Structure 1
């Protein structure tokens, strides 16, 4: 069983991944995917943190959700690490993809993300799908029937409220049990973690500050949301953060030790300290917590045979 948590290369995503790489807690069957979205120093620094500790990581060579791919001269390039065996080069299946890119030199591994049935069918007929080591596809029946090889299911589990709804409507709920649903058709699974698959270049304002923590209840991964009580306007994020983190600080000690990760404890400590670290730090710690939770679960339930 392999888990490919999928990240866009925003600053807080990269900071979370770099911290996790330095902690050296990920088992070899949790392999983060980075789709670069900005030409920032954190990208090569994060890739370096993984390869320096011989931890596998995927970098998407042809990102599609931002204008990063259109920047010809990169100031902070990750490609000098391509020859490192820990780096898996990934591609998104698009009409402009060159099939030779799916075969990495020197026996290195490659990964292909395919989101559309028609593109997959055309690639299969052209004989492209035998080259990549890993193929990520939506968990759709017609795709399973089309392909004759094990694949990795890619699904977006994050929920974003629309219109007049808010996270306060569903503060606790199911998040994922993809590993339990995996059959012989799937060699692993992938998701967009708590960030979701939607990408916005500039983000969007919210009336509430919400903290998101994943946790296990039995074999089911759930998500708990701590929502500020003040949701009347878009102002006062600091005060709203304290409202949300007070709930987290009261909830966390009642949870199993597996939920009380270092990242979650750091978030709870901000309540005691009455310190507002900024929403970027909050997002980074929430992502670190998710990976710390998943690392512990995989080590216990899907250990790597030595």
Structure 2
């Protein structure tokens, strides 16, 4: 089972809504951390996912964006959507008393999202959860072994400070091919082609980069990301022209390497934009890359 972790920003939510009819609920459980005060887009997303029997995990005590306080401000706002989503409680560490108490109030009918270390007491508490999201590198091996119903997540995308810093290709992760070998692990998660680090918006784009995930069959099915970067004129002008330059490189490379990339609706959208010579904006471009990444990952799980 794949648990893509997304922030509740506009394009991430649109990506999930557009994918809802294309991916089976048996392969995916999105994790959504709300970051916007306007909860309506999140409600629409939950409702549309429910139409296809996909039940997302929603962080009810988010700590980012408009909800920086880390309190449960979401449950009351999602009144009426009970059953269509699974409450997920983010726990910073064993000293995060408020979050631990909030998790316990659900009597096991919630998921736990561990951000860092755990102690014995916290392990015993979260082992009542339906799912426990844990980064294997942030807890001891002994604690990891004791945790149940684990969803192993990590920040796999190597985000660069500037788009011009991206190499042609980078290793993403092999967890999609390896998680079944771990004890008490029921799924895996990542932040798609985004980073775990949260930012409201990017700076001016001197270079436009388009990210395209693929499974490298020659490297034991590890996932890689191919980066298609535009020319660099040392100015933030003409983002549309720079997008077309990056898109031309993407289309040429995909044509030159048949079968390398999974045929997804996301990839089809890139080809449609190339055919129409339309620039939809950088947020929309990111949304398409997210869709392709999620579809590629779910397609691999389905094959397995």
Partners of 2:135 and 2:153 within 8 A in 1: yes
Q: Provide the rounded CA distance (Å) in 1 between the counterparts of 2:163 and 2:277.
A: 31
Partners of 2:9 and 2:36 within 8 A in 1: yes
Q: CA deviation at 1:257?
A: 7.5
Q: Which runs of 4+ in 1 moved over 6 A?
A: 71-74
Is 2:115 the counterpart of 1:115? yes
Correspondences of 1:25-44 after superposition (within 5 Å): 25-40=23-38, 41-44=40-43
SS at match of 1:249: helix
Residue number in structure 2 paired with 1:78: 78
Q: CA deviation at 1:234?
A: 1.5
Structure 2 unaligned blocks of 5 or more? none
- Alpha carbons of structure 1 residues 244 and 143: separation in structure 2 relative to 1, 3 Å: same
Q: CA deviation at 1:196?
A: 1.1
Select 1:273's aligned residue among 269, 272, 276: 276
Number of positions where the alignment pairs a residue of Structure 1 with one of Structure 2? 289
Select 1:229's aligned residue among 228, 231, 234: 231
Structure 1 unaligned blocks of 5 or more? 302-306
Select 1:261's aligned residue among 264, 267, 271: 264
Q: CA deviation at 1:227?
A: 0.4
Correspondences of 1:281-292 after superposition (within 5 Å): 281-292=284-295
- Alpha carbons of structure 1 residues 217 and 98: separation in structure 2 relative to 1, 3 Å: closer
SS at match of 1:195: coil
> Is the deviation greater in 176-185 or in 203-212?
176-185
SS at match of 1:18: helix
SS at match of 2:112: strand
Q: CA deviation at 1:142?
A: 4.6
- Alpha carbons of structure 1 residues 142 and 72: separation in structure 2 relative to 1, 3 Å: closer
SS at match of 2:189: strand
Calculate the TM-score normalised by the size of structure 1: 0.85
Calculate the TM-score normalised by the size of structure 2: 0.86
Q: Provide the rounded CA distance (Å) in 2 between the counterparts of 1:102 and 1:79.
A: 20
Residue number in structure 2 paired with 1:208: 207
Q: Provide the rounded CA distance (Å) in 1 between the counterparts of 2:225 and 2:160.
A: 14
- Alpha carbons of structure 1 residues 266 and 165: separation in structure 2 relative to 1, 3 Å: closer
